[in-house]
Amino acid sequence: MIDVIIGLAPAMAAAGYYFRMHALILIAACVISCVAAEWLCNLIRKKPNSLDDFSAVVTGIILALSLPPSLPVWAAIIGSFFSITIGKMVFGGLGSNIFNPAMVGRTFLTVSFGVLMTSWTVPASIDPAMPAVAQENILDTRTQATPLAWSKLAIKNELGADIYSEKQFKATFTGEVGGCLGETSVIALLIGGLYLLIRRTINFHIPLAVLSATFVFAGIAYLIDSFAYVQPFFHLTSGGLLLCAFFIATDPVTAPLTRKGMWVFGIGVGVITMLIRIVGEYPEGVMFSVLLMNALTPLIDRFFKRIPAGGSPSI
C-alpha cells in the first residue's frame, strides 16, 4: 500500500502544481475523512483497528485525484465517507469489498451533485484565478474544458472531431488542461505507473489490456469516421484512463486473480470506457466501466480457473 502511495505521489505533485491549494485541500480532506471513516466503522463494529494497512489513505488519494478541482470540501468529505463505509466497510473491510471504494464514492458524488462534479476550472498555471471553464471556450486551445467533454461538444456542434493538434497533445502530456485533479498529467501518471510495475506491486496485464483495448476500439472508430471520432492517442492520454489503468483497475481486491481473467477484465474496462465515451452521453466512462467490471470479477474468476500442471483431474 505504501508503494501505491509513492506511485501516486507524482500525480499528487502535478495536481498541486496545476490546481494549487484547491488540490492540496481536497487531497487532505479526502484522506483525513477516509481514515476517520474507517476508524469509526471499526469502532462501531468493535473490530481491531485496521488503519495500519494504509488502504484508507490510498482510497482517499485516489478519490481526491478523481474529483474536479472546484469541488467544495464538504462534498469531498461526503464522498470519502461514502467510499469507505458503503464501498468497503459494509462488505467486511479490506479484501472483502466487491467494488473499488474510491469509484463507489465518486459515482455517489456524480449522481448526487451532478453540476459540481462536471464543473471544470482551468489549471492555475494558465490563469491563477482558475475560472470555471465555459462552453464558449471550446475553440480556444489555451483555456479548455476537459479534453473529452470538449471533443464531445465539438462533435455535437458539428465542428468536427479533428481538433487534435500537437499543442493539445503536449498539454495533455504535461497536464495543462482542465480535468480531474490527478488525471491531467500523463507524465506524472506514467512515472507512478512505471514505479508500481518495477516494484511489482502491480503486474502489467491489466494496464496493458485496458490501454490496448481502448486504443484498438478508438482506432477502429477513427478509421471508420475520422470526422466524428477523435484520434486514438487522444483517448489514451485524456480523461481518467491512465489513472484507471495503473491505479484503479489494478486494485487487486476487485480485479480477477488469474492471468487470463486479468486480460478479460482489462479489455472489458477499456471497451466499456470507449463505449461510454463514444456512444454514451457522458464524456468520460472510466468510473462506470471499472465498477461494471468489478461486478463481473467473481464470474471471471470462476470462468477462467487455473488448470493444474498436467491438466484437470477427472473428479
Partner 1 sequence: MNVSSRGRFTFSGGVHPPENKSLTCESQIQPGPEVKQVAVMLSQHIGAVCRPLIRKGDAVQAGQKIGDSDAFVSAPVHSPINGKVKEIALRSHAVLGRSLAIVIETDDEGPAKRPSFQVPADFDVSKYSAEQICEVVRKGGLVGMGGAGFPTRVKIEQDPRIPKDALIINGCECEPYITCDYRIMLEWTSQIIAGIKLAGKASGCSKVFIGIEDNKPQAIEIMSAALRDSGDADGIIAVPVKTKYPQGGERQLIKAILKKNVPPGGIPPMIGVVVLNVATTAAIAEAVVSNLPLTHRVVSVTGEAIAKPGNYYVPIGTSVEDLLEFCGLAPQKSAKVILGGPMMGIAIADLKTPITKTTNAVTVLMKEQIGSAKFARRQTPCIRCGRCLQACPENLNPTKIAHAVKNNLLDVAERYNIGTCIECGCCSYVCPANIEVTGYIKTGKIFLARQKQKMPR
Binding site for partner 1 (CB under 8 A): 53, 55, 93-96, 203, 252-253, 255, 257-258, 301, 305-313, 315
Distance separating the N- and C-terminal Cα atoms of the chain? 40
> Looking at beta carbons only, is 191 or 253 nearer to partner 1?
253
Q: How far is the CB of 50 from partner 1 (least distance, A)?
A: 8
Which residue lies nearer to partner 1 by CB, 174 or 201?
Answer: 201
Residue closer to partner 1 by CB (options 94, 130) is 94
Shortest distance, CB of residue 308 to partner 1, whole angstroms?
A: 5
**Cβ closer to partner 1: 96 or 112?**
96
Q: Give whichever of 50 and 119 is closer to partner 1, judged by the CB atom.
A: 50
Least separation in angstroms between CB 126 and partner 1: 40
Q: What are phi and psi of 138, to 5 degrees?
A: -60, -20
- The minimum distance between CB 7 and partner 1, in angstroms, equals 15
Written as one string, the DSSP assignment of 155-203 is HHTTS-STT--HHHHHHHHHT-SSS-TTTS-HHHHHHHHHHHHHTTSS-
Separation in Å, CA 18 to CA 10, 126, 164, 254: 12, 8, 22, 31
- Least gap, CB of 312 to partner 1 (angstroms): 7
* C-alpha cell at position 301: 474468476
CB of 309 to partner 1, least distance (A): 5
Question: Whole-angstrom Cα distance, residue 258 to residue 265?
Answer: 10
Closer CB to partner 1, residue 179 or residue 256? 256
| Residues β-bridged to residue 157 | none
Which residues fall within 8 angstroms of residue 5, CB to CB, at 6 or more apart?
Answer: 54, 57, 58, 61
From residue 169, give the alpha-carbon distance in Å to each of 68, 224, 233. 21, 22, 9
